[in-house]
Structure formats: structure tokens, C-alpha cells
Structure 1
Amino acid sequence: MKKKLYTAIGLMSGTSMDGIDLSIISSDGYNEFSNVLDDYYEYDKNLQDQLVRLRDLVLTKKDLLQNSEKLRELERNLTLFHADAVNQSLKKYRDPIDLIGFHGQTIFHNPNEKITNQLGDGQLLSQIVKKKVIYDFRQADIQNNGQGAPLTPIFHHILSKKINKNFNIKFPIGFLNIGGIANVTKISNGSDNFQNNLSAFDIGPGNCLIDEWVRNNSNKKFDENGELSKVGKVDQLILNQAIDNFKTDSYSQSLDVKNFDVSFVRGLSLEDGCATITNFTAYLIAEGLKHISKKNSITFLLCGGGRKNIYLIDCIKKYLFNEHNITLEIIDNYNLKGDYIESQAFAFLAIRSYLNLPISFSKTTGCKDFTVGGKLVENF
């Protein structure tokens, strides 16, 4: 019997804090999926500055409490911005929407203290846009002894089956998402035994260090196409020290942008700092890919903003030079939009949450048992 199809909006605002990716998808929450619409809504400078400033202030649980009033005001403004984005997109897509998956903006993430804080008022969003909203996706996983991230692997699974069928790419299939943090998913086979055939973890910084260095040392927001890094010179001594100081014995912990800082390249020029940071980032990503591939022959599909940084991708390939079992491909080559995989994913996660289906598993977030995440609100 064919399962009911739901139409959902996914809203994703990542660690780069530059704006909202919005996607509309149709799915049954199991195996059927089609992409309907994708949009991007850039934060105005004032909102972005407030977000970055407050995120940098909140380093502990105590900081959350001390800045609670500022966070409430910012949460309201952020939610209003999301509501406006939804309403604008609904003018382009006039068919009924069943659900909205509202990720919100991560301000503080510390699974060891069982705290994850994403700014976003699901009650207010539901009231304004007159839709059912699923939000607070990560907390249930953390309470179930998980890391709260990454949550996209269950969506990567459905994409892997489409890619396997349409392009004859053999399993295992990998996904490398380079957002603020880099995370990787490995789908061993096409079965629906998610506990055994899905594995995922964060592997290091993605764009966060490069973006921070560029913002702090220029009037640019990021290193477009890696052009700054390309003309810079890597400080090999600083790079080697940074790599030695960040030995990864285990990939069991989720990562936050606050786990990293750019102080190790202090004193370098803009371009040399970019080149050195990018090589540091690429080295850690390459090590993570080696770890998850375990000599399997595997194709990794690159998504997220970092896939556009040509210099970064070239550096990753350099560090993988002797790994003949690993292939890197841009996901856009497979009729998928690399900028919107995560926003599509949170629309899919909203449908699964609504159907009381698990969204995280022991080998993706480290949770004790598979976990149904997200909170449903219908405030209209």
C-alpha cells in the first residue's frame, strides 16, 4: 500500500550565520522524495552581527543564563525573519503545506552537559505562518546520550538510493558536508536497517576557521572560491604544530565552531593565514575520510558551501593522494543542489518526526537507542 505523501518546508540556518536556506519537498518520510523549491534569504547585516556577537559571548551554561534576555529578543527577531522567508516562498508555491521543519540558529552546543541551544520560537512561527511546525530537533537525542549531531544521515540514505539507482554508483556511498563544521556519512548498503548500514560523525572544522579569519582581517565574509588562500603561502611550521596539537583519537564527539579558533595563525598576512588555515582544515577532513572509508572503495559526494572553495577541495585531494579507494565528487553532478541538502533534510526530518519515526541512530549520533526527535506545535 502506497504511503501518504507530505509536503514540508525545511528551514536551515547554519554556523556561517549568513542567512536561511529554505526548501520545499514532497516525501512519505520513508523512501519517496522529490524536491519542489529552494530559496535563500540573506540576513541583514544588523541581524548577522547580533547573532555572531551573542554566539561569541555564550561559551558556558552560565553565559546562557546571563544573556537570557538578549537571547530572547534575538530569538524573536530571528523567528520573525524566518516567518517572512516562509511567507515569501509561499507566494511562489501555492499548494498546501503540511509541516515546517524549523532548525533555528545554534548558539551553544555542549552534549556533555546535555545542552543544545538553537534560537527559534516554534510557537511564534506557527502562529504567524499558520502551519504545523516541528522544531528543537537535537534535544531528544542528547537526552538519549547522543551527541545531537549529525542529523542528516537518514536523509543522505534516501539520496544514496536514488543515486545508486539513477547513476549506478555502487555502495558504500559517502556524503561529505562542508558547512561551518565538516561532517561525513557512510551508507554501507541500500537496506532500511539504519542501525547497521548508517554511520556518521563530525570530522573537524569546515568553513568556520576560514570564514572567521577572513571576517577578522578584511571586509569580506569568506574566501570566495579559495582565491585568497590560493595566492597565500602556507606556514609549514605553524601548520605542523596545529596538526600535532589537534590529534583525534576518536570521532565520537560532535563539534561546535567554539571548539576551534584562529589564534595559531596570528601574525600572518591575510593570504598566508588563509592558506595555512585551509590546509589545516583540509588535513583534518582528509583524516576523517580515511577513518570512515576503512579501505572500502567509496565515492564521497560533496555538499555545503565549502564544496565551492576550489583551493580547499584541491588540498583535501592532496592529502588523499595515496588513498586510491576514495573518490570525491560534487553532489551537483547528480541532479542535486549542494547548497540545499540540509534544508531539504530538515523538511524530511520534520515528516519523520511527525510520523513518530526515528531520525538518529547509535552509529550516527552515538545515542543509546534510535531516537525520534523534534517537537510539534500547532499554534493557530
Structure 2
Amino acid sequence: MGKIYTAMGLMSGTSSDGVDVSIIRSDGNQKFVVLIDKYFQYEEELTQRILKIRDKILSPDDLTKYLVEIKDLEREITLFHFKAVNKSLELSKSDVDLIGFHGQTIFHAPEKKITKQLGDGLLLSQLTKKKVIYNFRQNDLENGGQGAPLAPIFHNALANELNKKFNLGFPMNILNIGGISNVTSTTGHNNLDLEEKIYACDIGPGNCLIDEWMRRNSKKGYDKEGLVARSGKTDKLILNQALDNFTEQSNFEKSLDIKNFDIFFAKGLSLEDGAATITDFTAKLISNGMNFIHNKNNSQKSKWLVCGGGRKNKYLLESIKSNFDDINLNSIDQYELDGDFIESQAFAFLAIRSLKGMPISFPNTTRCQKSVTGGVLVENF
């Protein structure tokens, strides 16, 4: 058995509302135990600064143009993560061997081999006196990959654990509805021939369009449980036009960024009707991706487990299900896991694999040319 490490994972998603922290014990392979999951919310002013800079960065040149602003914000984000680390260590009463630090994505352009996550690994290592692994996506990009999704190797470990505990069977599909939606499909029981056992891809928007609509047209940051969408009426004409115009993910080979999508098509609709139309648009694209996975597995009856913030949007899940005659779509929370923290647990797991030089991305998950490790290790203390 490989050495067991205690690792902390730090994840801040596209909602830019705070930091998820998880501490796990794992060998970076199949064994893992979750010690603590904790969420730390950003101040509203920090969230607004992140959203503002993200909207400004439309090309690699903008990363240079706004460098001073970016550096200032990166420092503030890193200091926030430092406080979250300290509080989590205090609450868990455990020490950690290393920290997996994802950072806050503000730009992702795989075709240019550029991805930018705000988060200073050197500073975090200096402050925490811990080994820090960050910049997880760049090595994958350098090897021809899309830089995302990175959680599939952890999803595979989860699937094997869930099968052991609950006898769920394979194929098993984990649908993560974060800012962007991605799927990991696992067809095997162990780590042998791993490249053949896992397939993953980004499949469409998740919460990003719904959240943006709510932010721009109300004082809310998101549509809680899909209640606003439920109170509206979908404009079928606008929905069908938007779907006809969307060609971004025709073959499911590319990773997606929130900048691949726009809510412009719903302009002029009421808050409620716009929320309903955008939610149904999101659901249809997610369903198309799920159908793609079904066809790949030659199985309409495979198990679907949902994690990420979007699983709480009841209207969205109902809309997804309405695109299928019969589908088994369950929240991952039904199986003794917290669906809010799968990504932060994943980056703790990826940090361990990175430390051990094990691959974190594969041709069938990110389209890289060969299986590669990733992440940059710093020990700045």
C-alpha cells in the first residue's frame, strides 16, 4: 500500500462567492477518508472585484494590461485562503502534509495554452509553512490537453468506493454542475487500464448563465432552488433559436469557459421568464452531453450521480429529466457525501498525486497527448 498523506484542497469556483476547503487522508490512488469540509464566504466587495476583473480579461493581452490590478487582487485572494486554511486546521485539529491550491480562474484559453488562476502559491506556502501545489492546469495544456476537467481521476476513486459501499454497479456517471457542467463516466472497478476505464468531458453551462442573469436583473446572486425560473414561462421561440445558434460543444472535445456563453439571447424578457428560458437552455445542453455519454456507453440505464451547486436547483434537474423518457438521476448526497465539496476534495487528492508524480489528466479526460501529472510544488518556508 502507498503512503497515506493528509492533504487539504482549496477550491473557488466560477460563482466567485467563496472558498471550499476539504481535508482528506489518501494514498492518491483508491483509498481516501474525508476529515473536514468547510465553506468560507467572500465579502461581497471581493466577489464584485473578481467578477469585474474576469469580465475585463478577454484576451492574453488583457492579462498584461491589467497586471497591477490582477496582482493586487491575487494577493487579497491568497490572504483570504490563508485565513481559511488556518481556521480549517484549527477546527479539524489535524495537521496536513500539503495543500492543493486551485485558485480563482479569470481566464482559460486552451487553444492558446493559457490559463490564469488567481492564487500565489509561493505566498501561501510562506504564510502556512506548508508544501503547496498550485497551477494544476498548465502542464496539461503544454501536452496538448484542454486543461479541464481535472476531477475525473478523483471521481473514479469515488465511483469505486460508492460501488463497494452501495453496490451501485457500472457504468457510473458523475455529473458535476458547477459554473460549467462536466461528466465523468467510469466503466471499471480498479486502476488497471485506467485510461480505458474513465471518459470525461465538459458538456455545457452549469450555473454560470443562470447566476449571471440573476446578478444582472435582481439583487440575488443565484436562483435558489430554481424558484424564480419556476415562476416564469419559457419563451420557446427564443430558446430554440439560442439552441440552434450554439455550436461550441458539437463534439465534446473542448473544455469550456464561462466566456463561451452569453445571456444576450434572453434580453428583453422579464426576470422570471428569462430565468426559465436560460435554465431550460442550460438543461438542454446538459442533456445533450448526457446523451453523448449514454451512446458512448451503449447504455440508457447507467447510474447518474449529481454534485456541485447546480444539484440544488430543483427546476434545473426537473428540466434535465424532462429531456429523457426514463433516467436515474440522484444527488451524490444520498450516498454519505456532501455534493458541495467534491471539487475541493478532488484538489486535495490531485495534490497527493502531483507530489508522487502520478498522472492527473489523461487523453480520455482532457484530450492531452499522453497521461501527465500536473501542479507546481513550492516549499517557501
What interval of TM-score do these two structures reach, taking the shorter chain for normalisation? over 0.9
Distance 2:190 2:90 in 1: 38
* Aligned twin of 1:21: 20
Residues 1:187 and 2:182 aligned together: no
Q: Cα offset for 1:91?
A: 1.0
Unaligned runs of 5+ in 1: none
Q: Partner letter of residue 309 of structure 1?
A: N
Distance 2:215 2:165 in 1: 41
Tell me which of 305, 309, 312 is aligned to 2:313. 309
Equivalenced residues, count: 376
Distance 1:224 1:249 in 2: 30
Once the two structures are superposed, residues 10-39 of structure 1 have per-residue CA deviations (whole angstroms, 9 ceiling, x without a partner) of 000001101000000000111110000000
Q: SS where residue 23 of structure 1 aligns?
A: strand
Once the two structures are superposed, residues 123-154 of structure 1 have per-residue CA deviations (whole angstroms, 9 ceiling, x without a partner) of 00000011100000000000000000000000
* Aligned twin of 2:234: 234
Contact 2:160–2:190 (8 Å) recurs in 1: no
Q: SS where residue 150 of structure 2 aligns?
A: coil
Q: Which segment drifts farther, 176-185 or 93-102?
A: 93-102
Q: Partner letter of residue 242 of structure 2?
A: A
Runs of 4+ in structure 1 off by over 4 angstroms are none
Q: Cα offset for 1:93?
A: 2.2
Q: Cα offset for 1:188?
A: 1.0
Contact 2:89–2:95 (8 Å) recurs in 1: no
* Aligned twin of 1:330: 331
Alignment of 1:196-207 (within 5 A): 196-207=196-207
* Aligned twin of 2:276: 275
Distance 1:281 1:274 in 2: 10
Contact 2:354–2:373 (8 Å) recurs in 1: yes
Q: SS where residue 201 of structure 1 aligns?
A: strand
Distance 2:58 2:215 in 1: 20
Q: Cα offset for 1:45?
A: 1.0
* Aligned twin of 2:363: 362
Q: SS where residue 76 of structure 2 aligns?
A: helix
TM normalised by structure 1 equals 0.98
Q: Cα offset for 1:96?
A: 2.1
* Aligned twin of 1:128: 127
Once the two structures are superposed, residues 182-224 of structure 1 have per-residue CA deviations (whole angstroms, 9 ceiling, x without a partner) of 0001001113122111100000000000000000000111000
* Aligned twin of 2:291: 290
Q: Partner letter of residue 176 of structure 1?
A: L
CA RMSD of aligned residues (A): 0.8
Unaligned runs of 5+ in 2: none
Once the two structures are superposed, residues 294-335 of structure 1 have per-residue CA deviations (whole angstroms, 9 ceiling, x without a partner) of 131311110000000000000000012x2x4x4211100011
Q: SS where residue 369 of structure 1 aligns?
A: coil
Q: SS where residue 159 of structure 2 aligns?
A: helix
Once the two structures are superposed, residues 72-121 of structure 1 have per-residue CA deviations (whole angstroms, 9 ceiling, x without a partner) of 11000000000010011111123221010000000100000000000100
* Aligned twin of 2:96: 97
Distance 1:275 1:356 in 2: 46
* Aligned twin of 1:257: 258
Q: SS where residue 219 of structure 1 aligns?
A: coil
Identity %: 55
Alignment of 1:69-88 (within 5 A): 69-88=68-87
Distance 2:122 2:62 in 1: 24
Distance 1:221 1:162 in 2: 35
Alignment of 1:122-201 (within 5 A): 122-192=121-191, 193-201=193-201
